[in-house]
A and B are shown apart, each in its own frame.
Chain A
Amino acid sequence: MAERAEVVFVDGVRTPFGRAGEKGMYWQTRADDLIVKAMIGLLERNPNVPKDRIDEVAIAATTQTGDQGLTLGRTAALLAGLPKSVPGYAIERMCAGAMTAVTTTAGAIAFGAYDLAIAGGVEHMGRHPMGFGADPNPRFMAEKLVSADALNMGNTAERIHDRFPLLTKERADRFAFGSQRKTAEAYAAGKIQPDLIAVATRNANGWGLATADEGPRPETTMEGLAGLRTPFRAHGRVTAGNSSGLNDGATASLLASADAAKEFGLTTKMRLVSFAFAGVEPEIMGIGPVPSTEKALRKAGLTIADIGLFELNEAFAVQVLSLLDHFGIDDEDPRVNMWGGAIAVGHPLASSGVRLMIQLAAQFEEHPEVRYGLTAMCVGLGQGGSVIWENPHFTGKSKARKAK
């Protein structure tokens, strides 16, 4: 029998996130190069990792064709210079790709099958617009299994406003404004930069270097947000300002069994407590994190009150607010998305899950009074994913849960 193990998050890094499209900084950069650069950066930061001991490379992308195709985990491992003996595979759960890469490899570590694994994700939405080239089964429409609205994420966000009239456009805008402000403050304080891997970029003016996210708009004002178009509905509530953008970027994390981390002298930035995924109606996919979080809390034997830090993916402001309302958390609760979120930095679909973990890990170190943190996100076609982590820097008195 394989020996069951505790799973730790050793480290995570990401490329700066770019704006998708011809004017974006990564327009001439391949998607696989982005994930490879993130992986190389991760391994350079953790020189103690014996590369031949990495048991898996799981890399997610939503649209797995072209430069995001060809078994990304394996090709990225080869391109990153890992030994040929290191295996790899590709993962796809739309926005929760990298999160699923983490939970899936974590499961294998917990089972005792792996000692070390790289989990990450990449999405080059400039080259691979969401759903591009997909061929949905006509039965979805013919049998009314899923409404046409479900395939358009903006429409699903409008649906949340419909369902919860208390979630007004004004609240969504205010949350979005806060996201931009918090991200600007975090950048100014140098919180985000340490985990960014610089990427050489190329445009008509030659080579450049991406060292910061391209998406944030620190100049955002409430007045400006109020005046934006509502592209999904006339007189709707969802705007480009209170949604995440279309982005390019990649993330990579290193997971290990607690024993392997100890053996190789690796850092333990977080300890995995539990995770869960759950489905909801595809037409209102943004509320997915609510049931997945409830499930993850239940598995962990915790309540929402135990969670001291939240890293919630801001696919749409309203979708985060729906979770906060559900759990009775204030819109401006300081525990939530301390450094802003996807509305500011961007959401390159399958890469975002690990970004949440990178930031939670950094916040854990700053907040030894916090014991547990939550990373959660909604997923297209009606899912949610939640991962609960324990802070190894926790110094508080209550030791309700034993390590092992």
Chain B
Amino acid sequence: MKRETTRTDVFTRRALMIGGVQLAAMGVLAAKLYQVQVVEGERYATLAESNRISARLIAPPRGRLLDRTGTVIGGNRLNWRALLVAEQTEDASVTLDNLSRIVPIADHERARIEREVRRHRRFIPIMVREFLTWEDMARIEVNAPDLPGILVDVGTTRQYPFGPALAHVVGYVAPPAEADMADDPMMALPGIRVGRAGMEKVHDRVLRGRAGAVQLEVNAVGRVIRELDRQEGTQGQDVTLTIDNELQKSVQARLGDESASTVVLDARNGEVMAMVTNPSFDPSVFNSGVSQAQWVAWTSNRRAPLINKAAAGLYAPGSTYKMVVAMAGLEAKVISPGETISCPGYLDFGDRRFHCWSKYGHGGMDMRAALKNSCDVYFYEVARRVGIDRLAAMSNRFGLGVKLDFELPGTRTGLVPTRAWRAGQGKAWNIGDTIVSGIGQGYLQLTPVSLATMAARIATGRAVQPHLTRAINNVVQPGSKAEDWPNMGLQERGLQIARQGMWAVVNEGGGTAPLARLSIPGVQMAGKTGSVQVRNVTREQRERGFKSENLPWEFRPHALFVAYAPYDSPRYALAVVVEHGNAGAQAAAPLARDIMTDVLNRDPAGRRETQRVADKGS
């Protein structure tokens, strides 16, 4: 009896104890659960959110580039692409085999696709072919049953409707480089393009817009379950250029096969109406990738299609520089317009003889006549009197040898030498170099765009800067009105002499550029020729009756012409450089006449009221 009671009591105690321990253990778990679910709940809630939500960027369409009339010169076009979704096909390589019978797939592309298939999760689409033609796409769609896993979708790609005509101005887009990735997360998106050259690069930020974002609910392996939230990005803004596309095309046609460049400015505000470089290239090629052969062809071409000669080509200005020399002389009061300098055909200085282009000399020349006849001896003498530093200072005021506020990447400043510059090279300045600077030779190196700027400043007396941006998102930018540009503060008299001289070059009997005379009634053009040797002419050659047109092409002189029109109320200024064109008067002047005729007929600035700077030349 007793032993049984003991056993029962022990059991009761121990069963209660076991039950109690079990409840206590559950209590501990409950406490721990409280800790995890309530005390640390917030932290885990955040973790759960970040688990399930994946933010993805959506690229907004890139803004368009428009010419001043609103024509699209850099736009987007639909890009048909074939994508492969590995999970929708039993055997990706069979699908690819079938596809390659419809659209060829290169071996290295095939290898890339297979590599990406292995690397990505099976539901992620992989790019197989871009830029499908409509026919290719139709054939893929028709053969869809044999192509499981292939889907065709449409993206956008950059399109340049006018191709080479605007290549150097518009530039091009290309896939971003590693360095671009850091500052904008949008750059990591597949298929994104950034501006790499020209105005595409200048206004890349504006054109690019801001990426939108979608918040997607994803599961543990990253498959998208649904879209939670969508914030549309800001579409890239349109940028309107100052270029007139029609004019640009006609100028390019005028330049023909020449290795040449032309800049046409609105003389009153510096807007670039046309900027043509010949030969050019097709900018859309960069979008899809440049082949090795194409690259070699471009870089080995001595006419350098990839270089924007209008902004990056450097040429000695030659005689086109003489107006600046004249005005420097007047400003420095070392000569008056009426003072005559006698030209015997050469100027002896020290033991050197500096030749005039006219073997027999021009006789006595005042400033206007010296410009009209482009008398070298006159300007040798003026330059000698002015000195190189004052000459450089005047050049800079005309936009020569200084950095212009010109947007285009790769624009070069050029060089107007000074004593300090020469000293920087460790050499002393030589007066002989001042003398040859008087006719725009020697160390002088200038770009066509700066020469056009010079012509515009001579024509209007305002310190206009060449520029290509007219409006962003249809908001016209500062600089489109003449009043936006300050007066140069030069003596009106000096400008008048320069203008008269340029008028006489073209319109007066005996001027150096009669071929530049316009045939538009009542409208006259003022201009100045320039021909610059690219190699020295020796005395023997000169005495044997040297003819530069007999030289091989690459040794012939460059032909230059700067001009503005109409003479009495200037609206447009231009500079034409024909590489190895031999003589400005023959090669460049007629081109300038034809281009200016086109410009005036078209009148892209469309401006009625104009600033009157001179009476009609007579």
Same assembly: no
Give residues in B with beta carbon < 8 Å to A: none
